[in-house]
Amino acid sequence: SGKITINGQIIDFTDEKNILAVARKAGIEIPTLCYHPELTVVGACRLCVVEIERMGIQASCSTAPVDGMVVYTNSERVNQVRKMVLELLLANHDRECTTCESSGACKLQQYASDYGIKRLRYPNRSQMLPLDTSSLSVVRDPNKCILCGLCVRVCKEKQGIGVWDFKNRGSKTEIVAAMDQPLAESACINCGQCIAVCPCGALTSNSSSIQEVWAAIRDPKKTVICQIAPAPRAALGEEFGLGSVDVTKKIVAALRKVGFDKVFDTVFTADMTTIEESNEFLGRLVKGENLPLFTSCCPGWVKYAEQFHPDLLNNLSSCRSPQQMFGSLLKKKYAKDLGVAPEDLFVVSIMPCTAKKYEAKRPEFMTEGSYDIDAVLTTVEAARLFREAGIIFSNLEDSEFDQPMQQGTGSGVIFGATGGVMESVVRYVAGKLLNAEGRVDVEFTRGMEDTKIASLEVGDNKLTLAIVNGLAAAEALIQKIKSGELTVHAVEVMACPGGCVGGGGQPFQNDGEHRLARSKEIYNIDAKLELHKAQDNEDLDKIFEKYWNGCCNHETHHDLHTHYQP
């Protein structure tokens, strides 16, 4: 620890590893394209240069603060170097900003404007390479890549997968998916975390569903239904300058204006998942079978388990995810109520997640030859749909979800943050075993750490529960479980940092600060809602009764569960 002077201001530092982090803590912004506070530092882009007395121009991301240092972040020399760096990056970057998926959310575009880059001495990139559109979730445009390497690092360090890597050296350097194959052929689990860190549009979500949604809405034969996941409600407002606040009812209103016939809440089937999964868990505890139970609502995690831990597939909950439970409910049951054939019901979901696009196309999730979920829009894509529809989002009047699946509990809402599924299960089980009325609050489940483990007593059961987010953290936990070092009864796994609030389809910036703000809002929504435990959802009771003669039986097993085959 010590003090450094930045632009004449004396600033204390403690355990910050570099000048960039010290400056940001003091509210001084330094531009960078390759630095991420949660990933290793490589100092590749040189944009974060600062001038240090007696040391000259240095990259602030890879220079440690030393007591007494005097630093300038915006001197003439610094800004000249930054302009040069930007010009060189732009020379090799496809500058068709008007048609870029990331226009408006691109750091390179922003910095070019901030630093007054007017007219480049270089022509636009001469050779245009083909895009990789093989993946249902992620599109890569190599012409936009500036080789910052953030995608390489996030996939390796946070997900432990390492899909992306550098190929060649010098001016021939490029980033390619493993074995230089199309992304869809790789071990990619579709989480979109590489999209979340890409500063300049080289990686974006596969947004082709937007056109399919418009086509369905304009098709008079189709009844078009939308469901909204928990996490987007606390993030979509960011796209319209409202911050990370609850905009659930505005989203419902916007969807009605776009032309959806019905709008439902995925929270309804999150409650359904809690009930089915908790009973599955209690059953396994009695039999001592297939423990620990792993949650299976995160499709990134499910693909990871299939690829790397096929021996654990019997431990995964057989419950379909809330997205897929809703799809199944709508196509197998609700369609009949409406007198519509499954293929004439077009079901859209708005998800914070790019992997949900892949989950929706898994062959096990179909009814009479029609996908249960026809299209998945990310939070960002939903915002684009609203803009294209000419909707002024911030002015919308609130609108409510449709009957007869209108109720949702706070328990279902917190699915959107890491620990939420586990907390919901505990609330349900505690409520059931202890006949607890009203609120059951669980504390250890909350917070953004990548691994949380706690033991608690519920009735006669002493349960050890684990919660992980990020697959590198999940892998470390699995190794401990497999080696016998750790015994747990249930594990919640979410592939994205912070859970769904940090999903790969959430608005840019999708960083720690935003994830925290969104997750706080998710818990605020829970606190304000009247219902708090899945079993208190009366609409859900009625639906269980009407369609399946109750819950947790053979019939729900057929429609709401699946089997992941080793």
Distance of CA 168 to the CA centre of its chain: 32
* Of residues 47 and 152, the one with the C-beta less far from ligand SF4: 152
258-287: which residues touch ligand HC0 (CB under 6 A)?
Answer: 266, 270
Cite the beta strand spans of 344-402 per DSSP E.
345-351, 366-367, 370-371, 375-378
| Residue in 16, 51, 239, 277 annotated catalytic | 277
Taking the complex as a whole, the smallest distance from the CB of residue 517 to ligand SF4 amounts, in Å, to 23
Bridge-partner residues for 316, per DSSP? 294
CB under 8 Å to 497, separation ≥6 — which residues?
38, 158, 193, 448, 450, 469, 470, 512, 515
Binding ligand HC0 by CB under 6 A: which of 500, 531, 534, 552?
500
Active site residue 101: no
Taking the complex as a whole, the smallest distance from the CB of residue 565 to ligand HC0 amounts, in Å, to 20
Taking the complex as a whole, the smallest distance from the CB of residue 155 to ligand SF4 amounts, in Å, to 3
* Of residues 164 and 301, the one with the C-beta less far from ligand SF4: 164
Q: 428 to each of 59, 412, 467, 491, 561, how far by Cα in Å? A: 52, 11, 17, 16, 19
Active site residue 297: yes
Taking the complex as a whole, the smallest distance from the CB of residue 2 to ligand HC0 amounts, in Å, to 42
Active site residue 359: yes
Binding ligand HC0 by CB under 6 A: which of 192, 416, 431, 497?
416
Taking the complex as a whole, the smallest distance from the CB of residue 321 to ligand HC0 amounts, in Å, to 4
* Of residues 151 and 458, the one with the C-beta less far from ligand SF4: 151
Q: Please give the structure tokens belonging to residue 484.
A: 């016998």
Partner in contact with 155, chosen from ligand HC0, ligand SF4, none, beta carbon below 5 to 8 Å by kind: ligand SF4
For the chain, the C-alpha Rg in angstroms (whole number) is 24
* Of residues 21 and 471, the one with the C-beta less far from ligand SF4: 471
| Residue in 191, 194, 353, 500 annotated catalytic | 500
Taking the complex as a whole, the smallest distance from the CB of residue 507 to ligand SF4 amounts, in Å, to 17
Binding ligand SF4 by CB under 6 A: which of 30, 106, 138, 255?
138
Answer for the pair 296, 316: CB distance below 8 angstroms, yes or no: yes
Active site residue 126: no
Q: Please give the structure tokens belonging to residue 18.
A: 């570099």
Active site residue 16: no
| Residue in 34, 100, 297, 353 annotated catalytic | 297
155 touches ligand SF4 by CB under 6 A:
yes
Active site residue 397: no
347 touches ligand HC0 by CB under 6 A:
no
Angle at which helix 248-258 crosses helix 379-388, to 10 degrees, equals: 50
* Of residues 199 and 420, the one with the C-beta less far from ligand HC0: 420
Say which residue the tokens 């979901």 belong to. 349
499 touches ligand HC0 by CB under 6 A:
yes
* Of residues 47 and 316, the one with the C-beta less far from ligand HC0: 316
Q: 476 to each of 197, 300, 452, 481, how far by Cα in Å? A: 23, 17, 12, 9
CB crowding 65-95: b at 16 or more within 10 Å, else e: beeebebbbeeeebeebbeebbeebbebbbb
**Overall size of the chain counted in residues:** 566
Partner in contact with 73, chosen from ligand HC0, ligand SF4, none, beta carbon below 5 to 8 Å by kind: none
CB under 8 Å to 304, separation ≥6 — which residues?
159, 161, 189, 471, 474, 495
231 touches ligand HC0 by CB under 6 A:
yes
172-231: which residues touch ligand SF4 (CB under 6 A)?
Answer: 188-194
159 touches ligand SF4 by CB under 6 A:
yes
Partner in contact with 194, chosen from ligand HC0, ligand SF4, none, beta carbon below 5 to 8 Å by kind: ligand SF4
| Residue in 107, 331, 356, 452 annotated catalytic | 356
* Of residues 188 and 253, the one with the C-beta less far from ligand SF4: 188
The edge-to-edge listing of strands for the beta sheet with 293-294 is: 293-294, 490-494, 461-469, 451-458
Active site residue 298: no
Q: Please give the structure tokens belonging to residue 406.
A: 């209108």
Convert residues 374-413 into a mask of x (bound to ligand HC0 by CB under 6 A) and - (unbound): ----------------------------------------
201 touches ligand HC0 by CB under 6 A:
no
CA-CA distance, 552 to 34, in Å (whole number)? 49
∠ at Cα 272 (267, 274), nearest 5°? 95
DSSP-assigned letters across all residues of 457-477: EETTEEEEEEEEESHHHHHHH
Active site residue 212: no
List of residues contacting ligand SF4 (CB under 6 A): 138, 154-155, 159, 161, 163-164, 188-194
Q: Which residues are catalytic?
A: 277, 280, 297, 317, 356, 359, 364, 500
